[in-house]
Chain A
Amino acid sequence: MKRISIFNILNVSFLVLISATFLFPLFRMLMTSFSNPDQLGFKSVYLLPVGFSMQAYSYLLSNPMVLRYYFNSVLYAGLSSLCMVLVTSTMAYPLMIPGFRGKRLISFMLVFTIYFGGGLISTYIITGIILHLKDTIWPMVLLGTLSPITVIIFRTFFKGIPQSLTEAAQIDGGGHFWILFRIILPLSTPLLATFVLFRAVGSWNDYFTPMIYVSSDSLYPIQILLRRLVVLMQITDLRYQTLLLQYTKLTPRTVQAAAIIITITPIMCVYPFLQKYFTKGMLIGAVKT
C-alpha cells in the first residue's frame, strides 16, 4: 500500500489548480455562447450558461459572410500545408543525395536566411507592392512556406530511410521524382503529419498576414472576424460602426463567445493528433538541429 505523502497531495493539488486555469477561460466562453442574451446582460458566467439559447450560433452560422470567412481559413490552411509539403520535400530530397553537385551552395543559401532577413516592411514592399500580391490569397499561402529549418529536418529524415529501398527503385527504372513521391514520402508520414498539422494550425491562427495584405472582405479568414468582434469592439473604431450596430442588437457577448468557439472547434477536433505529433515533432526538431 503506497503512502500518500503531503508532497504528493500538494503537488497534485497545485497541478489541478493550474490545469483549471488552462481550461476555465475557454469553458466560460462555451457557457457564455449558449447563454440567453436577454437574461445575460452584464452578469458573470461561471459553470453554467445563463439561460439557454442557440441564438448566437444561428446568427453566426446563417450569415453568409461568416461562412465565407470560415471557408477562406480552410482554404489558406489547406493550400499552405500542401505548398509547404511540396516545396520542402523537393528541396530536401536533392540535398540528401550523396554527391549532389551544388549541395553546399544551396545549403548555404538556405541557412543564410535563418540569420538575416528582409524584415516586415521590406517583405511587405516586395510581396505586396512589387509582386502585386496585395489583396490576393497568395501572401497567406506562400509566405512562410519555405522554412530552412524544416528543410533541414526533412533532409535528415530522408537520409534515414534505408538506401536499399531507393536502390531497389532505381533498379526498377525509377527516376528521382518517382523515388521521392512513391517511396520516400509515403514512408515519411509521421514527419509530414507533424509539419502539416503545425502549418495548418499556424495558418488557421494567423490574423496578421491577412490583415496587412488584404483589404477585400471576401478574402478575409475567420481570425479577422474574430478580431473585429472580440478585440476591436472594445475600442471605438469608426470603420466598424455598422458591424457594431448589427451585432449589439443580439448582445455582443454571446456572439463574441460563439465566434470564439466556432473558431477553435476545428483545432480542438484535431487536438488528439496535434498532441501526438506535437511532442514528437518538438523533439525531432530539437535533436536534429
Chain B
Amino acid sequence: MGSQKKRISFALYFKRNVALYVMLLPGLVMLFLFHYLPIYGIVTAFQNYVPGKGITGSDWVALKHFIVFFHSPYLGRILGNTIMLGIYGILTFPAPIIFALMINEVKSVLAKRIFQSISYVPYFLSTVIIIGLMKDILNTDYGLLAQIYRLFGVTPVNLFALPEWFRPLYTLSAVWQFVGYGSIIYLAVISTINPELYEAAIIDGAGRFQQIFWITVPCIMPTIIIMFIFSMGGIFSGGDLQKILLMYSPLTYETADVIPTYIFRQGIEGGNFSYSNAVGLLLSTLSCILVLSTNKLVKMSGNDTLW
C-alpha cells in the first residue's frame, strides 16, 4: 500500500464510499472522547485544576506539582514499593512455564484437559472474590491457616495487617490466579514440537527429565525470552491497582503503597486532581519508555521462529 496515487480525487472517493466513513464515526467519536480528550486532560497536571473553573479557567502553575512530588516524604517509599512489587512479579515468571511442562508430561489427553480446565477457574474470578477467598482462608478465627497455626500452638495472626506479608500475599495470589492462563501460550508452542525428536532421544536412552531439559525447554526458549522481555516492561506499572486497593490499609502502607495507589488516594479520594495527574504523568511516561524499549528488544531478538 504505497502513497495515495491520486487516480481519483479524495472528494470523489468519499462520495462513492460515504458508508465507510459513516461507519467509522462511532469509533472515532469514542476514540476522541475517551482516548484523546484524556490526553488533552493531562494539561491539568500543569495547572491548579478546579472542577468548577474547568480546564480553560484554572490557573497555570507549570512544574509546581512535580517539584512538590520530588520533595514529598513519601517518594522513596512508593517508588521503592513499586519497584519491589515489580521484582516480585518477575520472580514468578517461571511458574506458568513449570506448570505447562508438568501438564505436558501427562499422558492421558482427558487428564490433561481436566487439569487445564481447572487451572483456568481462578482467572475468571473477580478481584473482589479473590480477596474474599483470601480473607476466608486467612481469617484468624475460622481460616485454614489459623487451624494450622493452632496445631503448632501458635496464636494466629492476621496477615493482612502485617506489612511484611503484603508482597508475598499479593504475589502468591497472583500466581494462583494466572498460572493456568499463563501456561496456555507455552503449551501451544510445545504442541508444535516434532515428536520425532522425543523418539530419537528415547532411543538414545534419555530419561524424562533429560527429555524435558534437552528438547522441550530449548524448543520453547524463544517464547520464554519474549515473554520475559514483555514482563520486564511491566516493572514500573505498580501492579494491579484494583487488587492492592482491596488488600491494603494504612497499616500496610509502608510496603503496599505504590505509585498508582498513591495517585488514587490523592486524586480520586482526595480530590487533588492536578497533583495526582502530575504524578500519573511521570509514571506513564516511564512506563511508556519501558514498554517501547522492551518491544524494540523483542523485535530485535529475531523471532521468526516464535509462533
Contacts and interface: CB of A to CB of B under 8 A. Distances in A.
Interface string A103-146: 11010011001011111111111110111000000000011011
A34 interface: no
Contact of A121 (B13, B115, B146, B268): B268
B124 A146 contact: no
B220 interface: no
Given A91-B27, A117-B284, A264 B143 contact: no
Contact of A231 (B44, B55, B135): B135
A271 B120 CA distance: 9
Contacts of B49: 125
A282 interface: yes
A151 B129 CA distance: 30
B35 A231 contact: no
Given A101-B13, A223-B128, A117 B27 contact: no
Contacts of A163: none
Interface stretch (A38-46, A52-60, A188-196): A38-46
B54 interface: yes
Contacts of B40: 118, 126
A115 B228 CA distance: 19
Contacts of B181: 282
A44 B54 CA distance: 54
The A interface is mostly helix, strand or loop, or mixed, namely helix
Interface in B1-39: 1, 4, 10, 13-14, 17, 19-21, 23-24, 26-28, 30-31, 33-39
A177 B284 contact: no
Interface string B143-172: 110110000000000001000000000000
Nearest to A106: B24
Contact of A90 (B26, B99, B146, B249): B26
Interface in A221-275: 223, 226-227, 230-231, 234-235, 253, 256-257, 260, 263-264, 267, 271, 274-275
Contacts of B103: 15
Contacts of A146: 27, 30-31, 34-35
A118 B39 contact: yes
A131 B33 contact: yes
B120 A282 contact: no
Contacts of A11: 102, 105-106
B105 A8 contact: yes
A44 to B, nearest CB: 5
Interface string B65-106: 000000000000000000000000000000000010011011
B61 to A, nearest CB: 16
Contacts of A176: 17, 19-20, 23
B232 interface: no
A279 interface: yes
Contact of B41 (A8, A126, A274): A126
Interface in B99-123: 99, 102-103, 105-107, 111, 114-115, 117-122
Q: Which of B14, B30, B260, B263 has the most CB of A within 10 A?
A: B30
B217 to A, nearest CB: 16
What are the 5 closest A-B residue pairs judged by CB atoms, nearest first?
A118-B38, A205-B126, A91-B27, A230-B132, A122-B41
Given A19-B114, A22-B122, 12 more contacts: A7-B208, A44-B146, A45-B142, A115-B291, A118-B41, A121-B44, A125-B51, A130-B55, A207-B128, A223-B128, A226-B126, A260-B129
13 contacts: A8-B105, A12-B106, A25-B137, A42-B142, A44-B143, A45-B142, A119-B38, A122-B45, A177-B23, A207-B128, A226-B129, A256-B132, A287-B307
